A and B are shown apart, each in its own frame.
Chain A
Amino acid sequence: MGDRRRFPALLPLLASGGVLAFVGRAVLALPPTASGLAVEMRDGAKASGIKNVVTAVLLDFRGYDTLLEIAVLMLATVAVLSLREDPAALSRRIAGRAGPVLGALTRTLAPLMILVAGHLVWVGSSEPGGAFQGGAVLGAAGILMVLSGYAQPAWAGRRMVRWVLTVGLLAFIGVALYPMLGGGSLLQYPDESRKNLILFIEILLTLSIGASILSLFLASASATAGGERP
């Protein structure tokens, strides 16, 4: 066994050495200044009315990438759900009720995080921020609550969890298809409602992304991770 493993270790060495050499050479061959598509993008962003050019690229110019990226995230969630060993993983309490300090901290932090998530989405159009950042914070808030022993709220039945996970993608597809009714192409937002549509998508996406992150966490948690079972 040992020999079998030592011999192929040559291949990884060659591969990473090759990467260093060839990619290094390629990088050094580049001219020190280049602007790529920066100018076009900035001009385009001015025309579209979204102040943060990265957000404009993400949700407008290359909104199609982002649509598929949301699909990747939801797909990964579905994938991890399909791999879970315990069908009830999503609705299980995985830790005992936290002690007084952690409990108090969670009660303070969680609402604050939700607020921050909302803020991140709201400023996304002009400053760094947006649905992914907001969703990540929201998901973190969820994980924090779960870890401190807060079970899911009563309304979150299995079906409802699925709806929350999906609503962002569904809304995105809906908004993407909507311009087609007026003869536009996929994701061709009408100029007058562009900002509102993007904000609408972002809010729902934040929810779904947060739920995705929480589900990814819960689905992988083992049934034996400690704490009492309800």
Chain B
Amino acid sequence: MNVLAQSPGLLVAVPLAGAAISFVAGRRRAPHVAITTALVVLTLAVALAVHVLDGGPFRYQVGGWGAPLGIDLVADGAAALFLVLTAIVGLVVTLYATAYFRTDDETAYGHGLFWTLWLFMWTSLNALFLTGDVFNVYVCLELVGISAVTLVTIGGGAEALRAGARYLFASMLGAMTYLLGVALLYAATGQLDMDVLRTTLVADTTAATGLALMIAALVLKTALVPAHFWLPAAHGSAPSPVSAVLSSLVVKGSYFVILRLMLDVMPAGYLPGVDIVLGVLGSAAIVWGSVQALLQTRIKQLVAYSTVAQIGYLFLVFPLARHGADVLTLALTGVLVHALSHGLAKGSLFLGAGSLMTRFGHDRIADMAGAARSAPALTFGVALAGVTMMGLPPSGGFGAKWLLVSAALASGEWWWAVVLVIGGLLAAAYMFRLLSVLLVDAPTELHASKGDIRTEWLPLALALGAVLLVLAIPLVSDLAAASNVLIHAGVTP
């Protein structure tokens, strides 16, 4: 069996099998199942990335039928990046969760079903990053949605249930809207495969309406302002490992589909004005999310609003994509680097926030003074993650900001660069508001239980990854060049 060529199929089947096995394994053995699965999936994701780097994007025909009869998976550079990101964050979160969900209470944390739910979510994220079929996207989105909503409520508190319910209804609205879009698109074109659609799509009211509905639904799922209303509560009240996954990975799933629909499937200008609208909403998200983050008094709410802001950056690629292949290359590489660095940094921040909350026994920022002395590794992790959030060198966030600013300046539409700079400064403002409290010289009595090595150091490890990402930008550029968006735009690697 050629693992490299089979990696797309295995990347879905293996975590799915892990989910099923963890369910029957029982609460004691489920964490081991999850860790084993995480290691295998990481290996597979790297294998897929290597395969793409070697031979360019490839298609994987599930069932051997091939589109349009069957469903094809698409492994290109962009998908590989998201898969590897998911695998890295996933592994770290899995290890962290083994310390976080240590409880002997039979009913706590959803009866020990966290592991099964989490592996289902991982499966669905992998499937979402790989799928080349617009209806299959719907099934994947539902898998993501159901697992995400449930994981939010797994802590069982009233606040979490309320956030989960809100999230669920947003998710339902998104799902139904997306499916309606698919119905119209299929009725107009008779096709479901993205690549077939790319080559056959012609101007048509029904198809355009369908695609517009699909994009609107995905925007809702990605929580782009003003459709972000469900996110802060959900990400803020979920258990911390869950928040980490939601913020760093789940929003990227639906975003990735938008990216492919907007830049690969649809010819330029197919939905006139939508690219600009997305850019403007992205800018609004950057400003609004940052300002809200600045006003929060609870640590996880701050981090959650920061996600609202950081999602905005991802949407700046769409208006920039209209300015030719060079600008598109810069902008696409920029958002990919941003997605990676934000994924790592936000994972780190939520895990770190969780550890700080466990040690302090509360989540009020104002009362976390003195953490720098009693929990230096955690504070350092928050600081490093902050650096990449602000887009300061040397960090992945800097690489992303640089690439996007360059793209904006090269396109002549310099105002996007202004938005980026303001976003960075606002990020600095809210991150230093948090950091300066942690650095205050104050005698503190932290929670008696000393931090576990996993809860202390794993957040720092992720943050370090986000910083060191700056050295991997050439690799990311190579993978970006091996993405279908750029290849179909005529950029030769």
Task: Say whether A186 contacts B9, CB under 8 Å.
Answer: yes
Q: Is the CB of B1 within 8 A of A81?
A: no
| The one of B71, B120, B180 that contacts A71, using a Cβ cutoff of 8 Å | B120
Q: In B47-99, which residues have CB < 8 Å from any A CB?
A: 60-65, 68-71
- Whether A176 touches B13, Cβ cut-off 8 Å, given contacts A23-B184, A40-B68, is yes
User: What 1/0 mask marks residues of chain A from 46 to 73 whose CB sits below 8 Å from any chain B CB?
Assistant: 0000000000000011111101110110
Q: Does B20 contact A (CB under 8 A)?
A: yes
Question: Using Cβ atoms and an 8 Å threshold, which residues of chain A touch B191?
Answer: 37
CA distance in complex: A23, B210 (Å): 8
Residues of B within 8 Å of A2, CB to CB, are none
Residue B481 interfacial (CB < 8 Å): no
Check if B106 is an interface residue, CB within 8 A of chain A: yes
**Which of A71, A184, A187 has its CB near the most chain B CB atoms (within 10 A)?**
A71
**Nearest A residue to B107 by beta-carbon distance?**
A87
Name which residue of chain B comes closest to A48, CB basis.
Answer: B65
Measured in the bound complex, the distance between the Cα atoms of B23 and A165 in whole Å is 9
Task: Report the 9 A-B pairs with minimum CB-CB distance, sorted nearest first.
Answer: A82-B110, A186-B9, A188-B64, A26-B209, A79-B150, A29-B205, A36-B190, A82-B113, A64-B62
Interfacial chain A residues near B210, Cβ < 8 Å: 26
Interface residues of B in 140-169 (CB under 8 A from A): 140, 142-143, 146-147, 149-150, 153-154
- The interface residues of chain B lying within 8 Å CB-to-CB of A9 are none
- Whether, in the assembled complex, A199 has its beta carbon less than 8 Å from a beta carbon of chain B, the answer is no
Which among A25, A64, A67, A81 is the interface contact of B111 at CB below 8 angstroms? A81
Bound-state CA distance A166–B22 (Å) is 10
B6 is contacted by which of A22, A25, A27, A185 (Cβ under 8 Å)? A185
Q: A34-B187, A37-B190, A75-B120 are in contact. Are A68 and B139 (CB under 8 A)?
A: yes
Answer yes or no: A41 CB below 8 A from chain B CBs.
yes
Q: Using an 8 Å CB-CB cutoff, how does the interface string of A71-103 with B read, 1 for contact, 0 for none?
A: 110111011011110010000000000000000
Shortest C-beta distance, A68 to chain B (Å), equals: 5
Decide if the interface of chain B is mainly helix, strand, loop or mixed. Answer: helix
Let me know if A183 is at the binding interface, CB within 8 A: yes
Q: A159-B24, A186-B9, A188-B64 are in contact. Are A61 and B127 (CB under 8 A)?
A: no
Q: Which residues of B contact A60 (CB under 8 A)?
A: 63, 65
Is B17 in contact with A187, judged by CB distance below 8 angstroms? no
Which A residues touch B360, using CB under 8 A?
A: none
The docked-state distance in angstroms from the alpha carbon of A72 to that of B175 is 13
Residue pair A169, B63 in contact (C-beta under 8 Å): no
* B206→A72 contact, CB < 8 A: no
Do the beta carbons of A26 and B206 come within 8 Å of each other?
A: yes
Residue-wise interface mask of B (226-256) relative to A, using a CB-CB cutoff of 8 A (1 in contact, 0 not): 0000000000000000000000000000000
Q: Distance in Å from the Cβ of A183 to the closest Cβ of chain B?
A: 7
The reply to whether the CB of A163 lies closer than 8 angstroms to some CB of chain B is yes
Q: A68-B127, A82-B111 are in contact. Are A170 and B17 (CB under 8 A)?
A: yes
Say whether A72 contacts B71, CB under 8 Å. Answer: no
B150 touches A71 (CB 8 A): no
Q: What's the least CB distance linking B130 to chain A, in Å?
A: 10
B77 to chain A minimum Cβ distance, whole angstroms, is: 21
Known contacts A23-B184, A27-B184, A71-B120; A63 and B24 CB within 8 A of each other = no
Closest Cβ of chain B: how far from A91's Cβ, in Å? 13
Q: Is B16 interfacial (CB 8 A cutoff)?
A: yes
Are the C-beta atoms of A162 and B24 separated by less than 8 Å?
A: yes
Q: Is B204 an interface residue (CB 8 A)?
A: yes
Asked if B26 is at the interface (CB within 8 A of a chain A CB), the reply is yes
Which residues of chain A (179-230) have a CB below 8 Å from chain B? 179-181, 183-189
Contacts of A76 in B (CB 8 A): 146
The reply to whether A180 and B6 contact each other, CB–CB distance below 8 Å, is yes
- Give 1 or 0 for each of B329-348: 1 = CB within 8 Å of chain A CB: 00000000000000000000
